[in-house]
Amino acid sequence: MKVRKLLELQALIEERKIPCDMTDDFKYWSKSKSDWVSILDMDLIHVVRALNIDSSLEFVKYKDNNLQKIKDFITKLEDR
């Protein structure tokens, strides 16, 4: 089910309006399509998978960055 439809259902169930910023066209870079797609038009399962992949990639970058900082620190200690 698309995110846009899920937001509409949530509004009905909770008897509340959809927040005004949730009607904006949020964009996500689709690597498979090589283009920007609207998150609101994505299937929920696709959104969760995409978020998981992006989070995993950020973790690897974070881990690699910290490892480099440790290596640089050790190098500085050795140069003393």
Q: What is the pLDDT along the chain (80 residues), one digit of tens a residue?
A: 999 999 999 999 999 999 888 877 889 888 888 999 999 999 999 999 888 887 766 655 666 666 677 777 777 777 77
C-alpha to C-alpha distance for 3 and 17, rounded to whole angstroms: 15
Partners of 28 in the β-ladder: 37
In the three-class reduction of DSSP (H, G, I as helix; E, B as strand; rest coil), residue 80 is classed as coil
| Helix/strand/coil for 30 | strand
At residue 69, what is the residue type? K
Dihedral over alpha carbons 15, 21, 25, 30 (to 10 degrees): -100
> How much is the pLDDT for 37?
92
36 touches 27 (CB < 8 A): yes
Q: Report the predicted TM-score, pTM, of the whole model to 2 decimal places.
A: 0.61
